[in-house]
Amino acid sequence: MRYYKAWLFCGMLFLSGCLVTREQLRTGNQSNPPEKSQKTAPVISEEQRRAQEELARQEQEAQMREVLGRVSQLEAQLSKLQEDFKQQSLEKEEWQKRLKVYQEALEQHDLALKGLSQQVAELAALLKKTSEKKKSSSKGSERKKGGPYTQAEEWFKKGEWKKAILSYQKYRELYPKGSKYADATYKIGVCFQELKMYEDAKVFFEEVIAKFPKSREARKAKYRLSHLKKKHK
């Protein structure tokens, strides 16, 4: 009886193990279904193929037109650049011609200026010589016989005070820069002093002192002027 129960227990365990294994196999088969067969490519008709080719051709033509348009734009830009370069070259040549003309004119102007400077120098030298001759001749004419200063000296020595005044004044008018201008002015003052016209004498003495302060005539005029002031105090 004991052996029978043991064998029965072992048989039940074996059957339960087999059942579990089959159940697991069944569950595994359900969780991993067999892969479906790969789909086959759809069949394209002749019309669809032609339509696709036409569409591709149109796209290529559109791309070609776009490329040609860009090429045309580049050609137009290149043509404009060439025209601009040509215009600039012409303008450059024109400016070079003008510059050459200006340079030639400037050279001629420089030559003319040099010639003019030489003429001015020659004229200045001529004027200097003429002025020197004029000065020498005027100095000679100041004291020439019969001149106003010579006549005034003669009248002064003779005591003809009024006539001397007129001759000295004539000399002053003719030779305002003469070498005897200071002497003539001083002696006019002396003549007025001799005529007892002291105020007039004072005017000419003061003129000599003011215009020729370092001259001998100015020293003599100061001396006479001081005596006039003492007499009229």
Average pLDDT over residues 58-69: 90
DSSP string, 11-22: HHHHHHHHHHHH
Check which CATH number belongs to the domain holding 206 and give it. 1.25.40.10
pTM, two decimal places: 0.42
- 107 and 150 share a domain? no
Please report whether residue 134 resides in a domain.
no
Q: Are 221 and 205 in contact (CB under 8 A)?
A: yes
Position 6 pLDDT exceeds 90: no
226 and 189 housed in the same domain: yes
Domain that holds residue 203: 143-231
State the average pLDDT over residues 24-41: 50
Is 121 within the bounds of a domain? no
Same domain, 62 and 112: yes
Q: What is the pLDDT of residues 84-139, one digit of tens each?
A: 888 888 888 888 888 888 788 888 878 888 887 788 888 788 777 766 655 555 55
Q: Mean per-residue pLDDT for 211-221?
A: 95
93 within a domain of the structure (yes/no): yes
Residue 32 pLDDT exceeds 60:
no
Among 67, 98, 116, give the residue marking a domain's end: 116
Q: Is the per-residue pLDDT at 19 higher than 50?
A: no
**Whether residue 168 sits in one domain with residue 107:** no
- For the record, the structure tokens of 127 come out as 């004027």
What pLDDT shows up at residue 132? 62
224 found inside a domain: yes
DSSP 177: T
Domains identified in the chain, total number: 2
Distance CA 145, CA 141 (A): 8
Q: Which comes out higher in pLDDT, residue 84 or 164?
A: 164
Higher-confidence position of 59 and 130 = 59
Tally Cβ neighbours within 10 Å of residue 68: 10
Q: Which of 56-65, 83-92, 150-159 has the lowest mean pLDDT?
A: 83-92
What pLDDT does residue 34 have? 47
Tokens 């339960």 -> residue: 16
Contact 175, 142 (CB under 8 A): yes
Which of 102 and 25 is assigned the larger pLDDT? Answer: 102
Query: pLDDT confidence of 22, banded at 50, 70, 90?
Result: very low
More confident residue, 145 or 70: 70
Average pLDDT over all residues of the chain: 80
Residues 151 and 82 in one domain: no
Please determine, for residue 224, whether its predicted confidence score (pLDDT) is greater than 70: yes
Q: How confident is the model at residue 56 (pLDDT cuts 50, 70, 90)?
A: very high
If asked whether residues 151 and 108 sit together in one domain, one would say: no
Identify whether residues 153 and 224 lie together within a single domain: yes
* Secondary structure E strands in the chain: none
Residues 149 and 218 grouped into a single domain: yes
> Could you tell me if residue 58 is inside a domain?
yes
CB contact at 8 A, 130 and 148: no
Contact 189, 201 (CB under 8 A): yes
**Per-residue model confidence (pLDDT) at position 126:** 76
